[in-house]
Amino acid sequence: MSFRKIGLGLVAATLFAGTALPAFAQDSVYVPLFTYRTGPFAGSGIPIADGMHDYLQMLNERDGGIGGVKLVLEECETGYDTKKGVECYESVKGKNPVIVNPWSTGITLPLIPRASVDKIPILSMAYGLSASARGDIFPWVFNPPATYWDGMSMIIKYIGEKEGGLEKLKGKKIGFLHLDAAFGKEPIPLLQELAKQYGFEVALYPVAAQDMQNQSSQWLSVRRDRPDYMVMWGWGAMNGAAVKEAVRSGYPMDKFYSVWWPGEDDARAGGAGAKGFKMLNWHAVGTDYPALKDIQKHVVDKGLSKSPKDKVGELLYNRGIYNSLLIAEGIAQAQKLTGKKVVTGEDVRRGMENIKLDPARLKELGLEGFTDPMTLTCTDHNSHSAAFMQEWDGSKWVKISEPIKPMTEQVRAQLDAAAKDYADKNPGWPKRSERCDNQS
């Protein structure tokens, strides 16, 4: 083959690609899903990835997408590695994604400054930078339905109520077992502030990623310090190993609390001794909802899901569904606001600020009672919703509390200070100039 033919072939291919791309863009919306099905954190990453994918796939199969526009779903494997996550972002940003879900606090942090430049909204659902809840300072970042600081304040509030009032925490010791990474350290400033305010002591137990499955030192220290309560901020293999070690070391499980990330497999790892282990949650477990039945019918039964059938409806699978529910609502609201079918990242940012998941809307979506109502606005990108406490009964999670509202007064002051501090420390941080459709 001559160079001339090769050259002509390349030109033809380029022309073909150039004409094919707009055709693809005209009738679909591109939604990349950052996932991790491999590596040390896959235990948490797989069910979440399955839930995220299956809900959006169900919309494609059942409704032909959203507003008559198909969703183009593409997974990018990050391995929960910040470097790979940023590579994923760089590889998808040229394909006009309408939203990005980093699924890692470590990945979220470097993407925050890029979002406003690339006009791609970031959804860090209940993780990431707590201060990014301030929509007036972070117009491109959304972290509903609660920040890590909200979560920590809910756990402290619940423990305080158990003791007979927050003032009864004075003189108590609360241990904080956390992944020694951006995610695990995120709630420490608030925990220390609350300790100062209510007079309890904090003992920190960092777990390095390489020692996630080798926690005997941390639990020896727990035995030495005898904390009255333990609070965990763990991820991946760390959660199951911590539950096991807590049981091994004889720590009273009814005093062991976690933020919302352990799944059923993590609790099962502790065997019968794990009974009493508690964690926060804000949505239902199980498949007793029309939307989940549709996922089973249109996706799982047709072999379009990667999830084993018996894992559909488990806690982290449903967490993935909640994440995709927010994506879908953001797109639907964007279509409503702009009148366009094929929306852009800028449109979806506006759409996210108009999400209103009230009981009527949840019923319409086939998720009545799945989660509490939630509203986002231009200034509030989080909603600071309540969560409830659930307990492991040896085989399943059981809801044991009414919704616990975050300690807004304390959290708000810290959050405002942190948001201002972030903007001050990043010279040239832009003042919000983005359009607002929902001020209230």
Where do contacts with another protein occur on this chain (CB under 8 A)?
36-43, 45-46, 180, 204-218, 220-221, 223-224, 236-237, 240-241, 244-245, 248-250, 265, 268-269
Query: What residues contact 382, with CB distance under 8 A and at least 6 apart?
Result: 133, 142, 143, 144, 145, 146, 147, 150, 376
Scanning the structure block, which residue is given the tokens 């606001």?
Answer: 337
Q: Which is nearer to another protein, 304 or 436 (CB)?
A: 304
Q: Which is nearer to another protein, 38 or 426 (CB)?
A: 38
Scanning the structure block, which residue is given the tokens 């506006």?
Answer: 350
Distance CA 139, CA 231 (A): 32
Query: What residues contact 37, with CB distance under 8 A and at least 6 apart?
Result: 45, 46, 49, 75, 77, 306
Minimal distance, residue 60 CB to another protein, in Å: 25
Q: Which is nearer to another protein, 265 or 434 (CB)?
A: 265
Q: Which is nearer to another protein, 37 or 275 (CB)?
A: 37
Q: Which is nearer to another protein, 91 or 214 (CB)?
A: 214
SS3 content of the chain, % helix, strand, coil (to 5): 50, 15, 35
Backbone angles phi, psi at 283, to 5 degrees: -145, 170
Instruction: Using the CB atoms, write b or e for 330-360: b if 16+ within 10 Å.
Output: bbbbbbebbeeebbbbbbbbbbbbbbebeee
Length of the chain measured in residues: 440
Minimal distance, residue 211 CB to another protein, in Å: 6
Q: Which is nearer to another protein, 160 or 262 (CB)?
A: 262
Q: Which is nearer to another protein, 25 or 209 (CB)?
A: 209
Minimal distance, residue 48 CB to another protein, in Å: 12
End-to-end CA distance of the chain: 66
Minimal distance, residue 5 CB to another protein, in Å: 37
Q: Which is nearer to another protein, 211 or 346 (CB)?
A: 211
- Is residue 121 within 8 A of residue 345, CB to CB? The reply is yes
Q: Which is nearer to another protein, 88 or 133 (CB)?
A: 88
Query: What residues contact 146, with CB distance under 8 A and at least 6 apart?
Result: 126, 154, 282, 382, 383, 384, 385, 386, 387, 406
Q: Which is nearer to another protein, 187 or 240 (CB)?
A: 240
Q: Give alpha helix (H) positions in 251-358.
A: 264-268, 290-295, 315-338, 345-352
Backbone angles phi, psi at 387, to 5 degrees: -125, 170
Minimal distance, residue 188 CB to another protein, in Å: 11
Is the alpha carbon torsion for 326, 379, 181, 178 positive or negative?
A: negative
Residue 94 is classified by DSSP as: G
Minimal distance, residue 63 CB to another protein, in Å: 31
Minimal distance, residue 268 CB to another protein, in Å: 7
Q: Is 364 exposed, middle or buried (0-12, 13-18, 19+ CB in 10 A)?
A: exposed
Minimal distance, residue 347 CB to another protein, in Å: 35
- Is residue 355 within 8 A of residue 330, CB to CB? The reply is yes
Q: Give the tokens for residue 213.
A: 């499955």
Minimal distance, residue 245 CB to another protein, in Å: 8
Q: What SS3 class is residue 82? A: helix
Distance CA 316, CA 48 (A): 5
Q: Which is nearer to another protein, 121 or 184 (CB)?
A: 184
Minimal distance, residue 208 CB to another protein, in Å: 5
Minimal distance, residue 83 CB to another protein, in Å: 16
